[in-house]
């Protein structure tokens, strides 16, 4: 909002202010005061939440008081637009440069250094391996890439940070990884930082190709549980590099109201490629890689529902999956279904899905959702509504349907991915609303 208000001021040469809810306005004002030049954007504030409230409540906010000054809201709006500049607002020129952290900290006791890392939030608050110079140097032996090579530049609030190979190696050490894990973690770094929204966003990391066996990633029993080192350290490194390079600090710029425990290791697991039914390709092959390529794929989403109990013939498994999927927001038509090899076998041999693509197509055609339920989701409101108003189909037509009409919101079967993992112990599966991005070749980072 600060950005848009500033743009209106500069382009139209008229004063602009922001009206924001009380839960985020301090973030917005801090950002503007710290990083923008010229007069900061002024704000007035209303209580939160205002979406989902009866209209009378929102009207009450407008006739009520500004949460920042305690003045009547509309008076505060006029005051913010017309009030003379304060001394602080008259400051112009570039914002002072941030103090750059030293590359090396002075020696100290392990206890003190751990406390320092916790104070600065350079940790996920599980115990870390302190990244000494010797340990990081050893870690860097896991790649041929130079330590100062910039993998990507991460845009953070008010600036940008360069994520180098050395910084990723630091996160790898902290996570407890070994040098042979580094190419995987460097490939993962190309996708950093992980998602950060006010909702409980989380990630999924899927490892494909021969490297799963070489590094002993768990693709079988307990693939998603705390039973394997490679799954644990690679997934954890994503959280650590996201928090440090992505500058994510609780209540400063990380605002997930409930958070998500999946962020601790980002559901890192390998696909059980050896247990795929004939005709079902691994995830990375489906997305254009060779079977012999070592690939890491990252998914992003919010929701995950696990099945309970064994599959029953009275109601086929894919029907249950379909029912569960209907509760997802279907943003971007995205879903990722993780299924045990036994379920994959049933789906192929009993129900006739000869490929993963056929199953995805079936979900696209058969998952239905009540129209009001679709539009009642906040993510859909912010993405599909502008498209509907601009006349883009199918959104424009869906907006005109009655609330109880059934729509098929998973319009793009290619955004519905199926991954096979698990140990054939039970006919279990997860459905998630995670959208998977194109994979990254791990060998490029060896």
Partner 1 sequence: MTPRLTAAVLLGAFILVPALSSHALPKYAQKAPSVKPGQDPSASAKDEIPFPQVPRITGEEVERIAKEKGNVVLVDTDDPEAYAAEHIKGAVNIAFDPTVEAKEQDQLLSALPGDRLIVFYCNCSHEEDSAPMVLEMWELGYDHEKVKALKGGLTRWEQLGYPLAGTDVDKNQEKGN
List 337's β-bridge partners, or say none. Answer: 418, 431
Ramachandran sector of residue 330 (left: φ over 0; alpha: ψ -120 to 50; beta: rest): left
What's the closest the beta carbon of residue 330 comes to partner 1, in angstroms?
10
What's the closest the beta carbon of residue 366 comes to partner 1, in angstroms?
17
- Closest to partner 1 by CB, 131 or 183: 131
What's the closest the beta carbon of residue 376 comes to partner 1, in angstroms?
16
What's the token pair of residue 356? 């993963």
Q: Identify which of 270, 173, 175 has the alpha carbon closest to the alpha carbon of residue 231.
A: 270
For 53, 152, 169, 355, 444, the CA distances from 145, given in Å and listed in that order, are 53, 14, 11, 38, 9
- Closest to partner 1 by CB, 34 or 424: 34
What is the rounded distance in angstroms from the CA atom of residue 134 to the CA atom of residue 114? Answer: 17
What's the closest the beta carbon of residue 75 comes to partner 1, in angstroms?
28
> CA 155, 161, 163 angle in degrees (round to 5)?
110
Q: Identify which of 439, 403, 420 has the alpha carbon closest to the alpha carbon of residue 295.
A: 439
- Closest to partner 1 by CB, 75 or 159: 159
What's the closest the beta carbon of residue 135 comes to partner 1, in angstroms?
8
- Closest to partner 1 by CB, 268 or 436: 436
- Closest to partner 1 by CB, 14 or 56: 14
What's the closest the beta carbon of residue 277 comes to partner 1, in angstroms?
23
- Closest to partner 1 by CB, 243 or 318: 243
Whether the CB-CB separation of 123 and 174 falls below 8 Å is answered with yes
- Closest to partner 1 by CB, 68 or 379: 379
What's the closest the beta carbon of residue 23 comes to partner 1, in angstroms?
19
Evaluate the CA torsion angle 310, 315, 316, 318 in order and state its sign: negative
Would you list the DSSP string of 258-316?
S--GGGGTTTEEE--GGGPPTTPPPHHHHTT--TT--EEEEEEES-EEE--S--BTTB-
- Closest to partner 1 by CB, 86 or 126: 126
What's the closest the beta carbon of residue 182 comes to partner 1, in angstroms?
15
- Closest to partner 1 by CB, 354 or 437: 437
- Closest to partner 1 by CB, 239 or 428: 239
- Closest to partner 1 by CB, 55 or 103: 103
What's the closest the beta carbon of residue 101 comes to partner 1, in angstroms?
5
Residues in the chain: 446
Would you list the DSSP string of 166-231?
HHHHHHHHHHT--GGGHHHHHHHHTTPSPP--SS--EEEEEEESTHHHHTT---STTTTSS--HHH
Q: What is the three-class DSSP state of 178?
A: coil
- Closest to partner 1 by CB, 29 or 218: 29
What's the token pair of residue 404? 């109880």
E-assigned strand segments in 22-88: 42-46
Whether the CB-CB separation of 335 and 415 falls below 8 Å is answered with yes
- Say how many CA atoms lie within 13 Å of 382 toward its Cβ: 3
Whether the CB-CB separation of 293 and 443 falls below 8 Å is answered with yes
Q: What is the three-class DSSP state of 388?
A: helix
What's the closest the beta carbon of residue 154 comes to partner 1, in angstroms?
7
What's the closest the beta carbon of residue 140 comes to partner 1, in angstroms?
11
- Please list, in sequence order, all residues whose beta carbon lies within 8 angstroms of the beta carbon of residue 55, skipping any fewer than 6 positions away: none
What is the rounded distance in angstroms from the CA atom of residue 125 to the CA atom of residue 119? Answer: 10
What's the closest the beta carbon of residue 327 comes to partner 1, in angstroms?
18
């Amino acid at each position: 909002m600060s950005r848009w208000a500033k743009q209106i001021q500069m382009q139209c040469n008229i004063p602009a202010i922001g009206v924001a809810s009380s839960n985020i306005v301090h973030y917005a004002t801090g950002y503007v005061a710290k990083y923008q030049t010229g007069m900061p954007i002024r704000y007035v504030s209303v209580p939160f939440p205002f979406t989902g409230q009866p209209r009378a409540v929102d009207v009450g906010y407008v006739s009520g008081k500004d949460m920042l000054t305690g003045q009547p809201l509309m008076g505060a709006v006029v005051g913010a637009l017309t009030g003379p500049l304060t001394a602080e607002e008259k400051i112009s020129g570039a914002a002072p440069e941030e103090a750059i952290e030293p590359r090396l900290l002075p020696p100290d006791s392990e206890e003190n250094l751990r406390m320092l890392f916790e104070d600065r939030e350079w940790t996920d608050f599980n115990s870390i391996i302190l990244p000494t110079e010797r340990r990081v140097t050893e870690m860097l032996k896991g790649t041929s890439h130079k330590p100062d090579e910039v993998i990507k530049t991460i845009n953070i609030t008010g600036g940008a940070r360069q994520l180098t190979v050395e910084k990723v190696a630091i996160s790898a050490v902290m996570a407890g990884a070994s040098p042979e894990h580094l190419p995987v973690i460097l490939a993962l770094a190309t996708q950093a930082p992980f998602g950060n929204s006010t909702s409980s966003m989380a990630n999924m990391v899927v490892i494909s190709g021969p490297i799963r066996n070489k590094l002993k990633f768990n693709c079988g029993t307990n693939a998603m549980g705390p039973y394997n080192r490679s799954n644990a350290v690679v997934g954890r490194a994503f959280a650590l590099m996201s928090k440090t390079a992505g500058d994510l600090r609780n209540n400063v710029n990380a605002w997930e109201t409930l958070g998500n425990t999946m962020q601790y290791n980002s559901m890192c697991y390998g696909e059980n490629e050896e247990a795929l039914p004939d005709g079902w390709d691994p995830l990375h092959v489906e997305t254009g890689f060779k079977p012999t390529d070592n690939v890491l794929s990252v998914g992003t989403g919010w929701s995950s529902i696990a099945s309970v109990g064994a599959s029953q013939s009275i109601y086929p498994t894919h029907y249950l999956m379909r029912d569960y999927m209907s509760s997802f927001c279907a943003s971007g038509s995205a879903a990722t279904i993780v299924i045990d090899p036994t379920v994959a076998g049933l789906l192929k041999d009993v129900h006739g899905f000869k490929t993963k693509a056929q199953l995805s197509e079936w979900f696209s055609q058969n998952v239905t959702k009540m129209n009001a339920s679709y539009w009642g989701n906040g993510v859909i409101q912010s993405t599909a509504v502008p498209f509907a108003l601009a006349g883009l189909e199918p959104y424009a037509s869906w907006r005109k349907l009655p609330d109880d009409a059934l729509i098929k919101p998973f319009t793009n079967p290619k955004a519905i991915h199926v991954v096979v993992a698990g140990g054939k112990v039970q006919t279990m599966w997860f459905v998630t609303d995670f959208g998977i991005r194109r994979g990254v070749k791990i060998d490029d980072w060896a």
